Structure 1
Amino acid sequence: MKVTVGPAQYIRESGLLSEIGLYIEKFGKKAVLIGGIISRETVEAPLIESLTKHGMTLEQSLWYGGEASITNVDLLVEKLDTLDYDVIIAAGGGKAIDTVKAVAHRVNKPLVAIPTIAATCAATTPICIIYSDEGEFLEISRESKVPEMVLVDSDVILHAPVRYLIAGIGDTLAKWFETKTSAKKAIPNARNQTAIAIAGQLYQTMLNIGKQAVTSIEEEKMTPELEDMIDAVILISGSVSGYGGDDCRTAGAHAIYSGLTIFPEVHETYHGEIVAFGILAMLCMEGEDEQEIRELIRYYQEVSLPYTLKQMNIARLTEAQWQELGEVSVTIEDMANMPFDVTPEMVVKAVSKADSIGNEMLVK
């Protein structure tokens, strides 16, 4: 049995960027930063200042390429082969960090992650999600390195656009619904039962503090609720996958998310926002009580998560597009984690029903 629960260290503090060299210096003297355009603009100046203070240098700052694709991983590995460095620093959101996790796995170097938004648990998991160069989901890859250290400056999260946190709430809500569903196929043991318990508590935390956490960012005011939400999205969510392993993986909600990425108009909608809608569709697929779905949508309304296709820029789908959505969704690895066989027709029916319920609640 081999279990990778998460990073060796997770540190979250306000103003952490100014002290970051203190934590990174143990990995060597030369660092390379890889991340998003805005993320690198955010962290570069304080990072260089702190690294210099601790006798380190930032050898290069590289854009990750804009998509977590094999093309970009290959280009970055090729570039790193020309550099002399000891440690890789990843900065950004889920796609940037996943890209660098794949790179670090290939070059076998220490990895420090600096999430600049609280939108996914990518920084604390050993897997990465690979997309095409155009942004369509391709696979869940195990050729990925879990960071040795995750450093979160809560001030950076506070001043990021609120929509990223909202997406993080959507992605994290899925931990409960998908964990309890995928675990039905597994033999109960200490690890997967612990993962389910963590996921259940995590779900209650999301319900209790979601609105306050969103308001905190809207008002640019640090609160205990926002700090808890940052930890919930980035750290605790990742630990569910860590303890549960393949018994407690993503399921129907993420499969439907991946299916929806075939439509270019949805690419302006964030990962966690689409996953949130996928939860509704998965509940419909499982035959859950419609009242439960409506109650969840009321929470979505509180935190501004989408619950209709139109809210994700999909105005209408042709019959052929509906068929393609169903056919693609059932081929996604996540769908195999459902405790029953899923057909394309079941996907279409579930997505249509979720959208119908959502539209009914738009007018109430």
Structure 2
Amino acid sequence: MFTIPGPGKYVREEALLNEVGTYVRGFGRSALMIGGQTALSVVQASVNASLDKEGIENLGFVWYGGECSWSKVAELRSIVQEKKPEVLVAVGGGKAIDTVKAVAFAENLPLLAIPTIAATCAPATPIAIMYDDEGTFIEISHRSKAPNVVLVDTNVIAAAPYRFLAAGIGDTLAKWFESSVSVQKSKPTALNQSAVRLAEGLYRLLLEKGPSAIETIKHGNVDQAVNDVIDSIILISGSVSGYGGDDCRTAAAHAIYSGLTIFPEVHDTYHGEIVAFGILSQLVLEGKSEETIRELISFYQKVELPYTLEDMAITELSQEDWDRLGVVTVGIEDMDNMPFEVTPEMVVQAIQGADQIGRKVKYQ
């Protein structure tokens, strides 16, 4: 038995970008930064100065390509093979970091991650969520490397739009709702039971501190609630997957997220926002009461998460669209983690049921 519980080291501090060179130096003498265009522009000046200060050869800043796809990974591998860095530095959000994790795995290079938003646990996991070049989900890949070090500069996180933190809350809430059902298919062990308890603790912490953290970060400030939410989203959430492994994987909420990505109109909605709606749909699928779902929606309202299809720009679907959504969603491997068989018809009824409850809350 083995597990990869998370990154080798996690550091969260204000103005941490000024110390990047120190951490790179522990793994090599040259570095190539790969990430999102906005993210790279945010960190470039500080990283340049820090690498120069530590005598690290700076091999430049490269855009990851816009999608976490195998074609982008191949393109980046060619650049890495040409430039020959001793260390890779992934910069940005989940897709950017997952892409570089796949590159680092393929090229067997040390990896540092600098998340510029707290929207997913991608910086702290050994897996990569892969899409095609148009943004449609295709697979969860284990051909990915857990970062050696994750460097979280809270000044950078606080300067990003607060909607990213809200999305991170949505993605992290799913750890409890999904792991608590996926673990039912497994024999209880110290690892998977600890993972589920950790996920429940995350859920309760976010209910308590999430609204305050959102209000604080709206004004570009950081307090302990913000720090706790950041750590929960990036590190502790990733640890649930690390400890629970295949017993505590994503389930219907993420399968429904992946299914909804077939519609181009949702591509402006963030991962965690769509997952949040997926949680509501999963609860309908499980037969939970409308009261239970309404209670969760009341929390969504406090942190500005979507709870109707309309909130995600889906205003009209044909019967053909619904049929396709159902078929695609049950074909996503996450759905196999549900403790009962799910049919396309059940998926459609669950999504429609969640949307109906959400619309009641919004318009009645």
Q: Which residue of structure 2 aligns with residue 44 of structure 1? A: 44
Q: Which residue of structure 1 aligns with residue 132 of structure 2? A: 132
Q: Unaligned stretches of 5+ in structure 1? A: none
Following the alignment from structure 1 to structure 2, what is the Cα–Cα distance between the partners of residues 220 and 227?
A: 13
Amino acid at match of 2:306: P
Q: Which residue of structure 2 aligns with residue 172 of structure 1? A: 172
Q: Which residue of structure 2 aligns with residue 333 of structure 1? A: 333
Deviations 1:126-167 (A, max 9, x none): 000000100000000000000000000000000001111111
SS in 2 for 1:341: coil
The answer to whether the 8 A contact 1:98-1:129 is kept is yes
SS in 1 for 2:38: helix
Q: Return the offset for 1:84.
A: 2.5
Q: Which residue of structure 2 aligns with residue 31 of structure 1? A: 31
Q: Which residue of structure 1 aligns with residue 113 of structure 2? A: 113
Following the alignment from structure 2 to structure 1, what is the Cα–Cα distance between the partners of residues 20 and 212?
A: 29
Following the alignment from structure 1 to structure 2, what is the Cα–Cα distance between the partners of residues 94 and 67?
A: 10
Q: Which residue of structure 2 aligns with residue 275 of structure 1? A: 275
Q: Which residue of structure 1 aligns with residue 54 of structure 2? A: 54
Report how many aligned residue pairs link the two structures: 364
Instruction: Report runs of 4+ in structure 1 exceeding 3 Å deviation.
Output: none
Following the alignment from structure 2 to structure 1, what is the Cα–Cα distance between the partners of residues 153 and 50?
A: 14
Q: Return the offset for 1:21.
A: 1.2
Q: Which residue of structure 2 aligns with residue 68 of structure 1? A: 68
* Pairs within 5 Å for 1:254-273: 254-273=254-273
Q: Return the offset for 1:25.
A: 0.7
Following the alignment from structure 1 to structure 2, what is the Cα–Cα distance between the partners of residues 260 and 44?
A: 35
Q: Return the offset for 1:57.
A: 1.9
- TM-score, length-normalised on structure 1? 0.99
Does 2:146 correspond to 1:146? yes
Deviations 1:98-130 (A, max 9, x none): 000000011000000000000000000000000
Deviations 1:265-316 (A, max 9, x none): 1111000000000000000000012111000000000100000000100001
Amino acid at match of 1:34: I
Following the alignment from structure 2 to structure 1, what is the Cα–Cα distance between the partners of residues 320 and 297?
A: 28
* Pairs within 5 Å for 1:188-203: 188-203=188-203
Q: Which residue of structure 1 aligns with residue 155 of structure 2? A: 155
Following the alignment from structure 1 to structure 2, what is the Cα–Cα distance between the partners of residues 114 and 143?
A: 20
Following the alignment from structure 2 to structure 1, what is the Cα–Cα distance between the partners of residues 338 and 251?
A: 6
SS in 2 for 1:187: coil
Percentage of matched positions with identical amino acids = 56
Following the alignment from structure 1 to structure 2, what is the Cα–Cα distance between the partners of residues 237 and 304?
A: 20
Q: Return the offset for 1:60.
A: 2.0
Q: Which residue of structure 2 aligns with residue 352 of structure 1? A: 352
Deviations 1:50-95 (A, max 9, x none): 1111111211211000000011000000111111210000000000
Following the alignment from structure 2 to structure 1, what is the Cα–Cα distance between the partners of residues 156 and 228?
A: 15
Following the alignment from structure 1 to structure 2, what is the Cα–Cα distance between the partners of residues 22 and 30?
A: 12
Most deviating of 209-218 and 114-123? 209-218
SS in 1 for 2:83: coil
SS in 2 for 1:65: coil
Following the alignment from structure 1 to structure 2, what is the Cα–Cα distance between the partners of residues 268 and 93?
A: 14
Following the alignment from structure 1 to structure 2, what is the Cα–Cα distance between the partners of residues 117 and 221?
A: 14
